[in-house]
Amino acid sequence: MKTHFMKYFLIASVILCLVFICVYAFITSRPLLYMLVKEYVNGRHAKSGEYPAFSEDSQSEQSYQNVTIFCWILSMTSNLKDKAAAVNSTWAPRCNKYVFVISAEKAKPEGRTVTNDQQTSAYVEHDILYINSPEGYFKLIPKVKKVMQYLYEKELHNYDWFLKADDDSYFIIENLRYLLSKHDPSKGLYLGYALEPTVSSKSVLYMSGGAGYVFSREGIRLMVENGYNVGACKESTEFEDLEIGKCAKIAGVTAVNTIDKLDRETFHPDHLKDFIPGPPKAWLNFYAKNKPKGGPDCCSQYSISFHRMSYQDILIFDHLLYKTNVYGRRNLRNDTDVFKDRKA
């Protein structure tokens, strides 16, 4: 009896081991959805070069060197496993440098920056910028202020442009570089999806925070030196993007129009499915500077950003854009300029 029991036990053990080995081999041979190690994002779905790429990227590679972008992506610890991991695996590495901005109660002393004779704690660990600022949607203004002060102190002369994004956004960084190549980073500029003034802020144009906005190197300098460092920009409880627009105007930063020659938007504050088939969400009719459109005319062929994306959406968008080609289609001709040269 014991002999039969041991026989079946050994057979069962061998089968379980084989099943475990097969499952382990299957999992480890596939890119992981995410990996959270020591509180920083380390998610990689497919590293560059791990999949067949029948594309010619020399033009975008040259642009990478000529138009440098620092991307700072607002996130929170609870999002590191999904949203931030998806961003980290897709569009973020196409920036010249990027960090995820996380609120932290305490920051290391060696990373502090000084503003108005007070120490503002901020430090970078791997690909996360920890800011000593409270978490919350209506507490974004002090967080953004501290990020800009950090960029001013640590990164201002290392990059041409500074992109603010959310972790539920998708950016086509090559198209952003194409747009930015038309502008001079030594001028104080501010680009994004233009929103009309509200009743409480007449004459103030501001860019949607959800669609993301970009400041030139000089724009960051003006925001800090003419705005935050002299107390000209308030830390109110208003919406972050509106307050940034007010501060930009006070600091002397010029808002730039980002629609293309066919009057189609490039930055989008909502998901693509909110524009196609359309109509766009009703709130845009009250706030958008340019009349929002639905259907094929909603979005520029060289669109830059979309918002309110799930991490699955981010992965799908990236696959369709970078791992799927249409045979016979050619890229933009070098002598074709998509964008208008005008202020917002």
Residue 255 has a CB neighbour count (10 Å cut-off) of 21
Specify the 3-state DSSP secondary structure of 240.
Answer: helix
Assigned domain for 69 exists:
yes
pLDDT band, residue 112 (cuts 50/70/90): very low
Judged against a pLDDT cut of 60, whether residue 14 lies above it is answered with no
- What share of the chain has pLDDT > 90, as a percent? 54
Number of domains observed in the structure of the chain: 1
What's the pLDDT band for 38 if we cut at 50, 70, 90? very low
Q: Quote the pLDDT of residue 310.
A: 96
Angle at 121 between CA 167 and CA 34, to 5 degrees: 30
Whether residue 299 contacts residue 307, with contact meaning beta carbons closer than 8 Å, is answered with: no
Bridge partner list, 165:
73
* Residue 50 covered by a domain: no
User: Under 8 Å CB-to-CB from 337, ≥6 apart: which residues?
Assistant: 182, 261
Domain membership flag for residue 222? yes
Residue 280, preceding bond cis, omega within 30 degrees? no
As a residue count, the chain comes to 344
- Respond yes or no on whether the N-terminal peptide bond of residue 269 is cis (omega within 30° of 0): no
Place of tokens 């950016």: 171
At residue 125 the predicted structure's pLDDT band, cuts being 50, 70 and 90, is confident
Rounded to whole angstroms, the Cα distance separating 192 from 304 reads 9
CA distance readout (Å), 295 to 8, 156, 274, 280, 320: 65, 40, 10, 9, 19
* Alpha-carbon span 82 to 269, nearest angstrom: 21
pLDDT score at 25: 42
**Phi and psi, residue 166, nearest 5°:** -105, 160
Amino acid in position 239:
F
Residues forming beta bridges with residue 173, ordered by sequence position: none
- What pLDDT shows up at residue 165? 98
Give the C-alpha separation, 168 to 212, whole Å.
11
Task: For residue 262, name the pLDDT band (cuts at 50, 70, 90).
Answer: very high
Q: Is 312 helix (H, G, I), strand (E, B) or coil?
A: helix
Higher pLDDT, 153 or 125: 153
Domain assignment of residue 187, given as a range: 36-45+56-257
| 310 assigned to some structural domain | no
**Mean pLDDT lowest among 136-145, 153-162, 196-205, 325-334:** 196-205
Range in 52-66, 204-218, 288-302 the model is least confident about: 52-66
CB-based contacts of 47-52 (< 8 A; 24+ apart in sequence): 48/93, 51/323
pLDDT, averaged across the chain: 81
What is the domain-level CATH number for residue 244? 3.90.550
Where b means 16+ CB within 10 Å and e means fewer, 21-55 reads eeeeeeeeeeeebbeeeeebbbbbbbeeeeeeeee
Q: What is the DSSP letter of 233?
A: S
Q: How confident is the model at residue 44 (pLDDT cuts 50, 70, 90)?
A: very low
Structure confidence at residue 132 (pLDDT): 85
Mean pLDDT of 146-164: 97
Q: Look at residue 21 and tell me if it is in a domain.
A: no
Q: Which two tokens stand for residue 214?
A: 């970009």
Residue 270 tokens read as: 């909502």
- Between 6 and 123, the more confident residue is 123
Mean pLDDT of 232-241: 81
Confirm whether 13 is domain-assigned: no
Residues ≥6 apart with Cβ < 8 Å to 297 = 262, 264
